[in-house]
Structure 1
Amino acid sequence: MTISLRPLLPALLCAGLANAAPMKLADYLALSGPPPTATLTYGAAPSQFAELFRPAGQGPFPVAVLVHGGCWTSQYGGITQLRNLAGALNAHGIAVWNVEYRRVDEPGGGYPGTYQDINAALDLLGRQAAARQLDLGRVVAIGHSAGGQLVQWLAGRSRIAPSSPLFQSGFLPISQIISLGGLADLRREQALIKSSCERELVELTGLPSAARSDVFADTNAAELIPNGSHTVLITGELDTVSPPRVAHDYAERARAAGDSAEVIILPGASHYDEVAASSPAFALVLPAIRAALGLAPPLSQPHNK
């Protein structure tokens, strides 16, 4: 199903979303937020860490796992910009696990290292949860752009064959997924990924081999369905990196396979409004995040500047 925005239009107009200028890349790169409560490493490489943002008070707290985008490279920022969203979610009593990972232009990044980093970051969350009062029964994974591909991928890890370098015998299952302008269907969106991000698919999929003839079998989220997940695909109406068609196509494929998927299109928003808590688009993104965590709709929606 596609979520209709017509009942929300009066509220959108009040929030300024319908009249706000869409954010540009420079606006996104200028995003910032509060420092994390703690920074924890899951490996020896400089990019193998996660930031914990823990709300004040007594837990256990629901958890939002944030995975930044940046076209899978270090060129377009990432974890620093998502502190903007992390701070806003903290204000709503949601703990945030903000994940950094090795990208394709870093040693060890790409296939299989980037995916292995996402696995390791989630393993670390599982080990830290009790001491940090984090509720692993209420977790949503939120990814932006390339990060959308990675969170949609992690929902299907149970379908990865034991012969794959990405296989794990035990992991923290996450079935609630929010993709913000994600580029998840590597097989069908090769041309878009090339034009939007100038990425060669081999960087994300590796090369075929006798033991792994289909490079999409363990890397493409759309090959790892059905997996019992519920995915909300949120895209700006004016997003040119991952246009609304991409969200609709993936949702249709997921539903045809037997999974649950919804689409939210943000009026007048770009590829960057969808991830910025300082954008009026947050008025639609926040309720989707709270719903994924089983929380009531927010009474107010403060913006993190």
Structure 2
Amino acid sequence: MIEVLVVVGPGLVADAGLLEEIAAREFAAAGVSGTLVRARDAAHVLSLLSPSSPEGVGCAVVLPGRSAEVRSLIGRDLGAVVWVDVERADGVTAAAGATHLHGRGIGGLAWGIRHAVHRVRHPSRRIAYGPLPEQWGELYLPGADELYLSDADGPPVVMLIHGGYWRSIWAADIMGPLCADLAGRGLAVWNLEYRRPDLHGWDATTADVAAGLAALATAHGSDALPSGADGAAAPDLTRVAVVGHSAGAQLALRAVADAVAGEAAAADGAQAAEEDARAAAGEAPAVDGVRVAVSLAGVLDLVEGDRRWVGTGAVGAALGGRAPEGQAAPPYGDASPLLRLPLRARQLVVQGAADDLDLVDFGRRYARAAERAGDEVTYLEMPGDHFDVINPATPIWQATAQAITQALAAGPTSRG
């Protein structure tokens, strides 16, 4: 059985009983054995994280608190520790192999335990697509006996883009359950992390998602996308699904729209100019095997999203200003999926009926507009809330996963 050690740093401001309740609930839900220990000081934390510790560390979650001595351990090579700051703590970089989660309050402990257990049960390979700390993706590969649509070309690829209203407190770990579910269905999964605009600006976010998608193309044939476990073939980059949740859905559909526009420019004889422009901007070429773009509870109308103050003003904060009156100019005109139609790519729009009513409205109106624009679009609305669409146990996700695998099995969409 997996052993989870939760270490509470000295001076952490939190009710001790509540921390124990959260930990016990998560241990039981995950089916693991766990221990919560209150550390006296940094030396005690260090001893608890030692492989020879009597607590028998299988995976560790540490709430460091504000102690400078304990916080200095976050950057040390102590293995696959999940560091959880209950407060927002920007600019913290954990050592290689470790994870830093922050800004989710006391509930962050639950997220930390889930992530620690997930990493043990579902190993992945972290691959950098750029030089900065947040420019990476986690690659999950199925074993040879799990391949879906098994053939010589290897498994199709699902690229996941997490949401969180473009704020840095939410990260790629929230997509962990989908990574496990999709890999279990025999699909390769590329779970993308990226710079968020609250710290780095909108252009950085857009560039990172484009580079993350392009990394699939540039990594083809290299050791960045290795062969699967037990000799399975490398991922088939001619069959790619780009899937985003919430704000990540906006990023997913925008990235596909940009990629398709790049293909169209190349088809019009402008390939050299397009490549020169991308090179000048420091961008990589786009992958050309996208079979379906998927919105899971997506923020698909940014103009109305800003005007309705969804996410307590998340849209304007991310894009750097309020939506303009009249015809939307950049960045809204470039960023809002509704204003990019037709995408000229197959789309699946998934929406929980019990979600924020504005998101339900956006999903319904977007699907109708995409169909009127000539795109091939499927609208899937079922019972569920904002997070049921990324919960593998729910009927809405089961239906979504089936639709994704069917789309990857189908032929490519016409770009006409």
Aligned to 2:218: 127
Structure-2 residue corresponding to 1:195? 310
| Aligned residue number for residue 38 of structure 1 | 125
User: Partner of 2:137 in structure 1?
Assistant: 50
- Contact persistence 2:142–2:186 (CA under 8 A): yes
Deviation at 1:231, TM superposition (A): 1.1
CA gap 1:207/1:167 in 2 versus in 1, 3 angstroms: farther
Shift of residue 248, structure 1, vs aligned partner? 0.8
1:220 Cα shift? 2.0
Residue equivalent to 2:257: 156
Question: What do the CA deviations read for 1:226-284 (whole angstroms, capped 9, x no partner)?
Answer: 231111111111001753221110011111211122211121x1100101113343321
Give the number of equivalent residue pairs: 263
Taking a change above 3 Å as real, the CA distance of residues 179 and 242 of structure 1, as seen in their structure-2 partners, is farther
For the 8 Å contact 1:153–1:184, the answer to whether it is kept is no
Give the equivalent residue in structure 1 for 2:154.
60
Query: Does residue 217 in structure 1 map to residue 333 in structure 2?
Result: yes
Mapped to 2, the partners of 1:85 and 1:205 lie a distance apart of: 31
2:193 aligns with one of 82, 90, 100: 100
- Retained in 2: the 8 A contact 1:255–1:261? yes
Take 1:279 and 1:123, find their aligned partners in 2: how far apart are those partners?
A: 31
* Equivalent position amino acid for 2:409 in 1: G
Task: Report the Cα distance in structure 1 between the residues aligned to 2:140 and 2:333, rounded to whole angstroms.
Answer: 34
C-alpha deviation, 1:196, in angstroms: 2.4
Residues 207/236 of structure 1: CA separation in 2 closer, same or farther (3 Å cut): closer
Change (3 A) 1:67 1:169: closer
Q: What does residue 92 of structure 2 align with?
A: none
Residue by residue, what CA displacement relative to the aligned partner does 1:136-193 show, whole Å, maximum 9, x if unpaired? Answer: 111101100000001111121044897899896831132411100000221233234x
Report the equivalent of 1:82. Answer: 175
Matched, 1:259 2:346: no
In 2, distance between residues paired with 1:278 and 1:166? 42
Equivalent position amino acid for 1:100 in 2: E
Out of 179-188 and 51-60, give the one that drifted further: 51-60
Deviation at 1:89, TM superposition (A): 0.6
Q: Does structure 2 retain, via aligned residues, the 8 Å contact 1:79–1:100?
A: yes
Structure with bigger RCO (C-alpha 8 Å, 6+ apart): 1
In 2, Cα distance between equivalents of 1:197 and 1:258: 33
Aligned CA RMSD, in angstroms, stands at 3.1
Contact 1:142/1:180 (CA < 8 Å) preserved in 2?
A: yes
The equivalent residue for 1:116 is 207
- The Cα offsets for residues 30-63 of structure 1, whole Å up to 9 and x where unpaired, read as 7543444210111222211000001112861110
Determine which structure has the larger helix proportion and give its number: 2
CA contact (8 A) 1:64 1:142 kept: yes
Match of 1:286 among 401, 405, 411: 401
C-alpha separation in 2, matches of 1:94 and 1:144 = 18
Partner of 2:297: 181
- Equivalent-residue separation in structure 1 for 2:293 and 2:352 (angstroms): 17
Asked whether the equivalents of residues 71 and 197 of structure 1 are also in contact (C-alpha less than 8 Å), the reply is no
Q: Larger radius of gyration, structure 1 or 2?
A: 2
Question: 2:286 — aligned with what?
Answer: 171
Partner amino acid, structure 2, of 1:275: I
CA displacement 1:59-112 (0-9 Å, x = unmatched): 61110000000110022x331121110011111100000000011222x2x321
Q: 1:146 to 1:167 in 2, by over 3 A?
A: farther
TM-score normalized with structure 1 length: 0.76
Query: TM-score scaled by structure 2?
Result: 0.57
Shift of residue 215, structure 1, vs aligned partner:
2.7
| Match of residue 35 from structure 2 | none
- What is the distance in 1 between the residues matched to 2:304 and 2:406? 30
